[in-house]
A and B are shown apart, each in its own frame.
Chain A
């Protein structure tokens, strides 16, 4: 199925999503172009991970469309959804390696589940993927024996095991030391270019994202507040975008959580 390569791989149109009474997204639209690294940035707690789960079909939006290769994910039936998921993969924040299997078996897991290839070919495929993330030597280790950065790389090898078209990274840089952060930044970029992937990176690490993304969406207050290439964003006129990019403590996003007046509350206490 060819949909015209100029069309976006993932197209979110007028998405509205509520969790209980709380509105997470209100009438939001985004496009993710093929072969590009698109980043979604925003302050924590605005449901960036939720967006990835919406694209993966684990959550259903209240209204709006999420088109993946032209098919509307929320309206797919179970079987079609599982077919669509075979073309995408997701790197979870924790890595989410299966703790009872070795690194090798973890990477082999999706291949064994979805194909009937002989064990020799699976071995070759797994070693290739592990080589790509630099962990070929660690194939017999258990996930508990890996450092955080290595676990994330092993999970990345597993995510690309079946050569997906789309790969979604959930906070790939969170809690990494500078070296493994650099390794992952390089991996995201090089895998994207070498395998012709489309990447979506969700993160709040401004410097790393600005260095690898082709296009950036800044999300806050239930909607997109600014988008463009990293260059365009730096020139963006919105104070909210600027506050976020430069990491200022106070600004349109207030430092203080909503509270009663400070002075009156202190007076109450002393009474």
Chain B
């Protein structure tokens, strides 16, 4: 019994230490004025790696999730003769929940794990140390551009995911199942509020972007510099980031839509 409590204490302390190190890392990376002009190409490259390369999986997933939502929603709504509510159902599910959350989960798996592995390997091959010895701060040179690229890219990806999902819903609902096309859009417009639904969804997405990117960078930066350590860190990034996204999602939903 005492041993379990001790274990709990050790885990708590470990988590807190990790949080502290992550905060220090972020602080070190962002301290001082960012110099986007001097490092323009670095930021471009990272947005490309993190954002553009995630585009395909986001487009495909968004399309299919929109299509499935429409298909499932239609069968339920048709029972009540409320097919015209298909548009709002698809749009609200995507904008409020699925868009930000699924994007964040895919992002953690696609880009987050890659970030962790890349930084972990740079650490293991002493690239970070050697950068430091060249009087170049790896936090600013390596961590900062990746951080900003993640925080910028993910909300953009979520927007694209939402748009593609709604189009996918249109494809199934209107073109296949025969819901009235005008009704699809107008019912959506009557029920979706820009401030309440679109903007809040984007805010969610920005929070998730921050959480996932920081976790990915921190796990890489803190990885044990062996091949086993890096593979563990990569797994941890996906698991921790996914859980954190779901946790934050509950809190944000409660704050935004609960009251």
Touch A–B, Cβ below 8 Å? yes
Which residues does A use to contact B, with CB under 8 Å? 53, 56, 58, 82-83, 85-86, 88-90, 92-94, 96-99, 109-110, 113-114, 155
* A89 engages B126 (CB within 8 Å): no
Q: CB within 8 A of A96: which of B129, B135, B136, B141?
A: B129
Mask for B101-135, Cβ within 8 A of A = 1, else 0? 00000000000000000000110011101101111
* B126 engages A92 (CB within 8 Å): yes
Q: A85 vs B132: C-alpha distance in the bound complex, in angstroms?
A: 8
Q: A97 vs B127: C-alpha distance in the bound complex, in angstroms?
A: 6
List of A residues within 8 angstroms of B126 by Cβ? 92-94, 96
Given A89-B133, A113-B141, 15 more pairs with CB closer than 8 A: A53-B129, A56-B133, A82-B137, A85-B135, A88-B133, A90-B130, A96-B126, A96-B129, A98-B127, A99-B121, A99-B125, A109-B134, A110-B136, A114-B135, A114-B136
Q: A109 vs B136: C-alpha distance in the bound complex, in angstroms?
A: 10
List of B residues within 8 angstroms of A82 by Cβ? 135, 137
Q: A86 vs B133: C-alpha distance in the bound complex, in angstroms?
A: 8
* B137 engages A96 (CB within 8 Å): no
List of A residues within 8 angstroms of B135 by Cβ? 82-83, 85-86, 110, 113-114
Q: How many interface residues does chain B have, given as a range?
A: 10 to 19
| Most chain A CB inside 10 Å of its own CB: which residue of B125, B127, B130, B133 | B133
User: In the complex, which residue of chain A has the Cβ closest to the Cβ of B130?
Assistant: A96
A-B contact pairs, 15 of them (CB 8 A): A58-B129, A58-B132, A82-B137, A85-B132, A88-B133, A89-B133, A90-B130, A94-B126, A96-B125, A96-B127, A97-B127, A99-B122, A99-B127, A109-B134, A110-B135
A82 to chain B, nearest CB (A): 5
Q: A53 vs B126: C-alpha distance in the bound complex, in angstroms?
A: 12
Question: Per DSSP, are chain B's interface residues mostly helix, strand or loop, or mixed?
Answer: helix
Q: A88 vs B133: C-alpha distance in the bound complex, in angstroms?
A: 8
Q: A56 vs B141: C-alpha distance in the bound complex, in angstroms?
A: 19
B125 to chain A, nearest CB (A): 6
List of B residues within 8 angstroms of A89 by Cβ? 133-134
User: In the complex, which residue of chain B has the Cβ closest to the Cβ of A168?
Assistant: B133
Q: A104 vs B133: C-alpha distance in the bound complex, in angstroms?
A: 19
B8 to chain A, nearest CB (A): 24
List of A residues within 8 angstroms of B133 by Cβ? 56, 58, 85, 88-90
* A110 engages B134 (CB within 8 Å): yes
List of B residues within 8 angstroms of A110 by Cβ? 134-136
Q: A94 vs B123: C-alpha distance in the bound complex, in angstroms?
A: 12
Q: A109 vs B142: C-alpha distance in the bound complex, in angstroms?
A: 13
Q: A93 vs B130: C-alpha distance in the bound complex, in angstroms?
A: 11
Q: A109 vs B116: C-alpha distance in the bound complex, in angstroms?
A: 23
Q: CB within 8 A of A85: which of B122, B127, B134, B141?
A: B134
User: In the complex, which residue of chain A has the Cβ closest to the Cβ of B121?
Assistant: A99
Q: A89 vs B132: C-alpha distance in the bound complex, in angstroms?
A: 10
User: In the complex, which residue of chain A has the Cβ closest to the Cβ of B118?
Assistant: A100
List of B residues within 8 angstroms of A114 by Cβ? 135-136
Q: A82 vs B127: C-alpha distance in the bound complex, in angstroms?
A: 17
Q: A211 vs B64: C-alpha distance in the bound complex, in angstroms?
A: 69
B89 to chain A, nearest CB (A): 45
A111 to chain B, nearest CB (A): 10
User: In the complex, which residue of chain A has the Cβ closest to the Cβ of B133?
Assistant: A90
List of B residues within 8 angstroms of A92 by Cβ? 126, 129-130
List of B residues within 8 angstroms of A53 by Cβ? 129
A58 to chain B, nearest CB (A): 6
Q: A55 vs B206: C-alpha distance in the bound complex, in angstroms?
A: 42
List of B residues within 8 angstroms of A86 by Cβ? 135
| Most chain B CB inside 10 Å of its own CB: which residue of A90, A94, A96, A98 | A96
Q: A89 vs B130: C-alpha distance in the bound complex, in angstroms?
A: 8
| Most chain A CB inside 10 Å of its own CB: which residue of B121, B126, B129, B134 | B134
Q: CB within 8 A of B125: which of A58, A94, A109, A113?
A: A94
- Nearest 4 pairs of A and B residues by beta carbon: A96-B130, A85-B135, A96-B126, A90-B133
A7 to chain B, nearest CB (A): 23
Q: A82 vs B137: C-alpha distance in the bound complex, in angstroms?
A: 9
Q: A253 vs B121: C-alpha distance in the bound complex, in angstroms?
A: 35
